[in-house]
Structure 1
Amino acid sequence: MINLLMKMSDTARITILFSGFLISSILTFFSGFLWFVFFILTFSFLGIWIYTNGKSTKMYLNKLQQSLPDILNENSFAYDDSYLSFDFLTGIAINQQEKEIALLNRFNRDDKFNFRKIKFEDLLEVSIYEDGGLVTKVSRGSQVGGALIGGAIAGGAGAIIGGLSGRSQSNDMSNRLSLMIIINDLQNPYHEINFSIGQIEKMSKIYQMNRNNLNKWFSILKVIINQKENESNLVR
């Protein structure tokens, strides 16, 4: 019975279980000496409803998490590392051997990802934004944000944001963390990845995790930009 219910759409499954719960609840009060039977039946419907909803939610989340590797495999993109945003709407993956980056985005969770592949040399700039304000950036043809930024990066993965943003230091809450990538493409020059949306305490574990993920990918893209910049300088 459970397997049959799980094959149904969420609407159909919830409708059937709610109807059974409602009918058995009513019969509990009007069934005379059989009230106990319908009372048990009522809670049976309720238990199945809770269990199947929980299982359906878990299956849906697994499907969303699998959507990134699925689209990468579909496009034959072998990757060394990847990241899927917490809202399941944007992603990034890197192939070091082929010197390629995959950028993914979609407007709704149930949509198929738009897949975009770029070469390392097409990466022009990467920036960290917190609460709409620029924290730091690195770009081709420029210094890596100055000595202060370089020192913060050298100080550890968690030092970039906390050490550079004055607004971050004076505010205990964060509303948004994002990574902005600028690409050498006039038609579609940027790609944004959200690492956190919604008010989160900066001392919380989830904020620290999001910040560390953001710093990691900023550092990876920074290294790529620096390497391509050095290669260009050697050619000159």
Structure 2
Amino acid sequence: MMNYLINMNRHLRITILLSCFFGSFVLFYFTVNSLFMFAAFVFLGILIASNVSHARKLSDVMDKTLEKSIIKNKIVADHSYLSDDFLSGIAINEKEQRIALFKRNNINEELSPTLFNFDDILEVGIKEDNIIVTHASKTSAIGNAMAGGVLFGGIGAVVGGLSGEKVGYTKVYKVSLLIVVNDLNNPIYEINFLNSKILVDRDSEIYKDIYYEMSKWNKRIGVILKRNELNTRTV
């Protein structure tokens, strides 16, 4: 029964179980029969459990699409990551000094990679909703607010993190890693580490785990930028 619900269309499953939940609650209200209240909480529990199981199964399936694209395109990856919405990804090969950035329009398409050399990476930043919280460029370890604003969101962008500034809000919907590359057609790649329909508290374990993982990627790209800068100075 649970497997059937997990594999069911998500919207249909939610509609059916919520209808059962509210139906049981209404029956309890009119009959004061505790069995209907118990049934209501059972349906609610099934809804939560099936949604969690469905999300995990989908995540496992989507992770395999990134692995499939890496293998199909003969990419050697020391590190790889698939975005929270499964629409973009990243893979790094340190020995060959190359980075693969993946994109697709929907989860039914194959992930399409674009390969860049390390010296093609120009900037990296972390964006929370519409605010840039860290930013580093090829020419500076910290960069500046004007460069970050132009490349990552226009006037009003706030650059902090690396320069020690704090962001004055407690909850977010979306947290992304932005990478600027030497490509006039597609200069900015955005990889969502969190893309939620509900606000996520920045003090929550979910946010902390997400930010920890994204910070590792931000630092990896930062190391590449620093190496690019050092190589430029020695030439």
Give the TM-score normalised by the residue count of structure 1. 0.66
1: CA distance between counterparts of 2:67 and 2:76? 10
1:101 deviates by: 0.4
Secondary structure at the aligned position of 1:207 is classed as: helix
CA contact (8 A) 1:135 1:164 kept: no
CA contact (8 A) 2:124 2:180 kept: yes
The match for 1:225 is: 225
Deviating beyond 6 angstroms after TM superposition, the runs of 4 or more aligned structure 1 residues are: 52-57
Secondary structure at the aligned position of 2:134 is classed as: strand
2: CA distance between counterparts of 1:180 and 1:75? 23
2: CA distance between counterparts of 1:174 and 1:57? 20
1:162 deviates by: 10
The match for 1:36 is: none
1:161 deviates by: 4.6
Q: Deviations over 1:82-126 (max 9, x none)?
A: 111121111101000000001011121121111111100100111
Higher helix share: 1
1:145 deviates by: 3.7
The match for 2:200 is: 200
| Distance change (3 Å), C-alpha of 1:131 and 1:165 | farther
Matched residue type, 1:227:
R
The match for 1:188 is: 186
CA contact (8 A) 1:136 1:164 kept: no
User: Kindly, what percent of the aligned residue pairs are identical?
Assistant: 32
1: CA distance between counterparts of 2:209 and 2:224? 23
Q: Deviations over 1:43-85 (max 9, x none)?
A: xxxxxxx9x9998776544221111111001001011011111
Q: Deviations over 1:142-196 (max 9, x none)?
A: 24348xxxxxxxxxxxxx8598453x3x322122211111111111111011111
The match for 1:111 is: 109
The match for 2:38 is: none
Q: Which of 123, 126, 129 is the equivalent residue of 1:128?
A: 126
1: CA distance between counterparts of 2:52 and 2:218? 36
2: CA distance between counterparts of 1:175 and 1:165? 21
2: CA distance between counterparts of 1:221 and 1:59? 30
1: CA distance between counterparts of 2:93 and 2:174? 28
**What residue ranges of structure 2 are gaps of 5+ in the alignment?**
17-46, 145-159
Give the TM-score normalised by the residue count of structure 2. 0.67
Matched residue type, 1:124:
L
The match for 1:176 is: 174
CA contact (8 A) 2:201 2:207 kept: yes
1: CA distance between counterparts of 2:178 and 2:169? 22
Rg bigger for which structure? 1
The match for 1:211 is: 211
**What residue ranges of structure 1 are gaps of 5+ in the alignment?**
19-49, 147-159
Alignment of 1:70-89 (within 5 A): 70-89=68-87
